[in-house]
Amino acid sequence: MFTLFRINYHNQYYKAYSDTQVLNQIKKLWLESLTRFDPDTIRRGARRVIETSEYLPTLNRMIRACQGDPDSYGLPDAHSAYVEACRAPSPKAAQRWSHAAVYHAGSASDWFFLASSPEKVAFPVFEKHYRQLCDQVMNGRTLPKPQVPALPESTETPLSKEENKQRLDALRRDLGL
């Protein structure tokens, strides 16, 4: 990867990594950060960065290149996800979500907050949660689907008027009324 960077970003590379000791520390940091990806994925990511950027990439840019495109994971862009979360009727868990990350980001942002706050206030909060979830999904985590609360197995029948009167009398006696 660093050989590809040296060849492609010749002057930038030598300016940024002129000190061998610093270069070795940077390589160690990058190695620790990129160990979750297999070597072929790192090579493809490095090539993708070279093809799309004129400048030497940062570690963050390289990680994103290795992760791939959010569209390939079925993740909508942040604003579309925000609009979907805001427009979903209750119960939220029972809705059809474009991706589970939208539901979980809405839940983490607080549904009432999303519904009662203007977009300029609510969207940054939602976006922060959504981006974190997207990163987790692109790193291989599978988010659980929203759990729709089940109806109770048995339903209680209301008490008769006589039973209600008896309980009310008992409550009055207990309270001394």
44 and 87 housed in the same domain: no
The whole-number pLDDT of residue 147 equals 86
Cα distances from 50 to residues 36, 60, 69, 141, in angstroms, run: 21, 15, 16, 28
Reply yes or no on whether the pLDDT at 69 is more than 80: no
The answer to whether position 110 is within a domain reads yes
- Average per-residue pLDDT in the chain? 89
Place of tokens 């660093």: 2
- pLDDT band with cut points at 50, 70 and 90 for residue 110: very high
The answer to whether position 162 is within a domain reads no
The answer to whether position 146 is within a domain reads no
Cα distances from 157 to residues 154, 160, in angstroms, run: 10, 9
88 and 52 housed in the same domain: no
How far is Cα 160 from Cα 128, in angstroms, rounded to an integer?
53
The whole-number pLDDT of residue 103 equals 95
Reply yes or no on whether the pLDDT at 68 is more than 80: no
* Section 13-39 average pLDDT: 89
State the residue range of the domain holding 116.
73-138
The answer to whether position 108 is within a domain reads yes
The whole-number pLDDT of residue 29 equals 93
The whole-number pLDDT of residue 37 equals 80
Contact 102, 130 (CB under 8 A): yes
Reply yes or no on whether the pLDDT at 72 is more than 80: no
Q: Is 87 exposed, middle or buried (0-12, 13-18, 19+ CB in 10 A)?
A: exposed
Neighbours of 59 (CB within 10 A): 13
CA angle 25, 26, 28 (to 5 degrees): 65
**For 33-59, how does the pLDDT look when each residue is reduced to its tens digit (9 = 90+)?**
998 887 888 888 899 899 988 999 999
How far is Cα 76 from Cα 74, in angstroms, rounded to an integer?
6
Reply yes or no on whether the pLDDT at 106 is more than 90: yes
Place of tokens 């474009």: 98
The whole-number pLDDT of residue 111 equals 95
How far is Cα 68 from Cα 74, in angstroms, rounded to an integer?
12
**For 120-169, how does the pLDDT look when each residue is reduced to its tens digit (9 = 90+)?**
999 999 999 998 998 888 777 889 998 887 777 777 888 889 999 999 99
17 and 59 housed in the same domain: yes
Torsion of CA 84, 122, 111, 104, to 10 degrees: 60
